[in-house]
Amino acid sequence: MRKKLVVGNWKMHGSRAANAELLAGILGARPFTCDVGVCVPFVYIADAAVSLAASDIRWGSQDVSPHEQGAYTGEVSAKMLRELGCRYAIVGHSERRAFHQESDQLVADKAKTALGHGLTPIVCVGETLEQREAGQTEAVVKRQLSAVIHTLGHCAGEMVVAYEPVWAIGTGRTATPEQAQAVHAVLRAQLQAATSHAETMKILYGGSVKPDNAATLFSQPDIDGGLIGGAALKATDFVAICRAAG
Ligand code: 13P
């Protein structure tokens, strides 16, 4: 039985005051039976580290540089994130693939650098509505995941995968549990072919997860938790989703 994981992706939201209130709300609701994490904007990582250090809630970033160090203005290295105690680094979120033209290979390189510094990459994959309607869902997610599997090699078993259909992100339109499970099963089979750890690897679902749909999504056999956007910004909603993960 895989332990469920629920991670909040705050995206570009928050303020020091709002974050403190949100984290206090989450901390006050402990204990959780699932693993819980928050991926916060870079500038708030140090604050999150202080707030969460004495707890079992983990924190992380929403991106990481593929480079070790050097003249890369504006980038943040895996080593820096690790120094601030990050456990997770989201890589390949569809918003970065779309707005920053991140390629499958760049995402894979970021995942590799993260792992090399002890961060667990949460690798996002997912199809657009156009791709789904053209019957390309499987091919798209397999292509995205395959670049990462190939680049990570024998370490592939250490990543967390997140299936986030682009059409379900921030739209209020969730994949049905059956739609999500079908893609998760495809991803699990792909991991099975590549690593001996596929049965213990976590595959999260993301895209309009809310307190009222979380339990049915999380009850699917290959859905091991969630990557939560909007609902992660309100402590009561995020806590309810963590509870739904059992
Ligand atoms: P929403 O939960 O707001 O749809 O966002 C999902 C997401 O992109 C998490 O990474």
Q: What is the pLDDT of residue 240?
A: 98
5-9, 33-37, 168-172, 210-214: which range is least confident on average? 168-172
Confidence of residue 1 (pLDDT cuts 50, 70, 90): confident
Round to whole Å and give the CA distance between 246 and 244: 5
Taking the CA of residue 168 as reference, the ligand 1 atom at the shortest distance is 4
Task: Confirm or reject: Cβ of 209 under 6 Å from ligand 1.
Answer: yes
Secondary structure of residue 36 in the 3-state scheme: strand
User: Mean of the per-residue pLDDT values for the chain?
Assistant: 97
For ligand 1, the distance from its centroid to the CA atom of residue 241, given in whole angstroms, is: 13
Task: Confirm or reject: Cβ of 65 under 6 Å from ligand 1.
Answer: no
Nearest to 110 by CA among 73, 41, 62: 62
For ligand 1, the distance from its centroid to the CA atom of residue 169, given in whole angstroms, is: 5
Taking the CA of residue 210 as reference, the ligand 1 atom at the shortest distance is 2
The secondary structure element, H or E, covering residue 227 is strand 225-228
Task: Confirm or reject: Cβ of 230 under 6 Å from ligand 1.
Answer: yes
Task: Confirm or reject: Cβ of 241 under 6 Å from ligand 1.
Answer: no
Active site residues: 93, 164
The secondary structure element, H or E, covering residue 27 is helix 16-28
Q: Per DSSP, what are the bridge partners of residue 225?
A: 5
Taking the CA atoms of 20, 58, 36 and 74 in sequence, report the sign of the dihedral they define: positive
Give the mean pLDDT of 73-90: 98
Tell me what percent of the residues of the chain surpass a pLDDT of 90. 98
Give the mean pLDDT of 115-135: 97
Please say whether the beta carbons of 84 and 45 come within 8 A. Answer: yes
Confidence of residue 147 (pLDDT cuts 50, 70, 90): very high
Q: Per DSSP, what are the bridge partners of residue 61?
A: 89
The answer on pLDDT for 101 being more than 80 is yes
Task: Confirm or reject: Cβ of 166 under 6 Å from ligand 1.
Answer: no
166-175, 203-212, 236-245: which range is least confident on average? 166-175
Q: What is the pLDDT of residue 246?
A: 85
Q: Whole-model pTM?
A: 0.98
Question: Per-domain residue ranges for the chain?
Answer: 14-64+74-244
The answer on pLDDT for 56 being more than 90 is yes
Residues whose CB falls within 8 Å of the CB of residue 233, separated by 6 or more in sequence, listed in order: 8, 10, 13, 14, 22
Q: Which CATH superfamily is domain 14-64+74-244 in?
A: Aldolase class I (3.20.20.70)
Nearest to 153 by CA among 112, 120, 119, 185: 112
Secondary structure of residue 140 in the 3-state scheme: helix
Give the mean pLDDT of 75-89: 98
Taking the CA of residue 208 as reference, the ligand 1 atom at the shortest distance is 4
Q: What is the pLDDT of residue 111?
A: 98
